[in-house]
Amino acid sequence: MPTITEPKLISGNANMPLANAITRRMSMHRGMSQKLVDARVERFNDQEIFVEVYENVRGEDMFIIQSTSNPANDNLMELLIISDALRRSSAARITAVVPYFGYARQDRRTKARTPISAKLVANMMVEAGIERVLTMDLHAAQIQGFFDIPVDNLYASPIFALDILHQFKDSLGDVMVVSPDVGGVARARELAKRINAPLAIVDKRREKPGEIAEMTVIGNVSGKKCIIVDDICDTAGTLCKAAEVLMEHGATEVHSYITHGVLSGPAVERITNSVMKSLVISDSIEPTDAVKAAPNIRILPTAPMFAQAILNIWHGTSVSSLFENETLAPIYEGIL
C-alpha cells in the first residue's frame, strides 16, 4: 500500500552510534539521505529530562531509537518523554525501536510481594503514545503479550548463524552449540538448527541468587568447539564458569555468542582472563571503551537488520522475513 509520509527517525542518548548507523543503512537502501530528526534531549541541573524537537513532525511516521540499557531509568524516561513530545506534535504514528528492552528480566513474580516490572514498563510506553514496538531478543517472549499494541521481536540468531558459518567454515563439523541453562534451550536449539550442529546443555543449580553451586554438562562435548549462546551477559560469572566446565569436559575451544552485552561490574575483566577464546556480542547496547579494548570481545552490527525492519514497517511489509538466512544474508554481505 503506497505511503504518503516519510519515515522519520529520532534518537535518545542511549546509543547514538547505533542510531546513526541505522540512518546510514536506510540511506543506502533508499538511495536518498536519511538523517535523524533535529532535536535536543538534555537534562536540567536537577537531572530532569527535557526534549525539544526542532523539525515539523505533524502527520509523520516516527521511529524513536532508544535502548533502555544502563542507566536504565534515565534512558526509559528519555524514551517516554520523546514519545510524549511527538504525540503532542501530532505525529501520525510512533514506533519505539528498542534494541535492548530493559526490565525484561522482571517478567514474572518470582516470590511473594515482588513486582512484574516488565508489565509496568509496557503500560508506561503505551500511555506515552507509543503505538508499536520493535525490539530484539526479548529475555522472555511472553513480554510481547504485556502490550496491547503490535510488538516485533527480532532475533539475533540469524546474524550469529551467518557469522559462525563464516568464522568456522573450515571446522563446522566440530562445532557444538551449548545452552548455559535449561531455560535457554529453545534459543540454543534455534541456532543449532540454522548451522546444522548438535546441542548440549549446561545445567546450573544455585544455592542462592548470584552464587552457582554446581554445574553439570548434558551432552558429550569432548573434542568439540563449543559455542555458548544466550540473550544477556551481565556480570559474566555464569558464562565464564560454564566455559571452564566445558573445557574440563574435553572441549577444545569455547566461544560465546550473546545478544545483549550488559557487561556490568567485573564482567570485562572476567572475560579477558577467562578460558573463552572469544565473546561475540551485538551493538544493541553501546559498548564501553573497556569492551572495545578487550582482546577477546567482538561486536556484530545490528544496524542493517534494524534499518530493513524499519523500512518494512513503514512499507507495511513483513518483518518476519528477516528471520530467514536467505533474506538476511544479502543485507550483511561484505559486513560479516
The answer to the question of residue 1 being in a domain is no
d(CA 59, CA 6) in angstroms, rounded, equals 9
Provide the CB-side half-sphere exposure for 18 (13 A, CA). 26
Same structural domain for residues 296 and 312? no
167 is in an annotated binding site: no
139 is in an annotated binding site: yes
Same structural domain for residues 164 and 201? yes
Q: pLDDT tens string for the chain (336 positions)?
A: 444 578 999 999 999 999 999 999 999 988 899 999 999 999 999 999 999 999 999 999 999 999 999 999 999 999 999 999 999 999 999 999 999 999 999 999 988 999 999 999 999 999 999 999 999 999 998 999 999 999 999 999 999 999 999 999 999 999 999 999 888 999 999 999 999 999 999 987 766 655 566 788 999 999 999 999 999 999 999 899 999 999 999 999 999 999 999 999 999 999 999 999 999 999 999 999 999 999 999 999 999 999 999 999 999 999 998 988 788 889 998 787
- Domain with 182, as residue range(s), is 157-300
Domain with 202 in it: what CATH number?
3.40.50.2020
Same structural domain for residues 231 and 282? yes
230 is in an annotated binding site: yes
The answer to the question of residue 167 being in a domain is yes
The answer to the question of residue 2 being in a domain is no
30 is in an annotated binding site: no
234 is in an annotated binding site: yes
Helix axes 185-195, 157-167, angle to 10 degrees: 50
Same structural domain for residues 75 and 198? no
What is the three-state SS of 284-318?
A: CCCCCHHHHHCCCEEEECCHHHHHHHHHHHHHCCC
d(CA 173, CA 165) in angstroms, rounded, equals 11
The answer to the question of residue 336 being in a domain is no
Q: Decide if 292 is catalytic.
A: no
What are the b/e assignments for 288-320, b being 16+ CB within 10 Å? eeebeebeebeebbbbbbbbbbbbbbbeeeebe
Provide the CB-side half-sphere exposure for 34 (13 A, CA). 24
Same structural domain for residues 293 and 176? yes
Same structural domain for residues 191 and 180? yes
Nearest residue to 66 via CA among 55, 49, 80: 80
Residue whose grid cell is 539521505: 33
Same structural domain for residues 254 and 317? no
Same structural domain for residues 12 and 138? yes
The answer to the question of residue 56 being in a domain is yes
The answer to the question of residue 215 being in a domain is yes
Same structural domain for residues 150 and 161? no
The answer to the question of residue 244 being in a domain is yes
From the list 111, 119, 169, 204, the catalytic residue is 204
- Tell me which amino acid residue 297 is: I
Same structural domain for residues 130 and 25? yes
Q: C-alpha cell of 272? A: 579477558
Same structural domain for residues 278 and 258? yes
Same structural domain for residues 230 and 192? yes
Count of domains forming the chain: 2
d(CA 181, CA 185) in angstroms, rounded, equals 7
206 is in an annotated binding site: yes
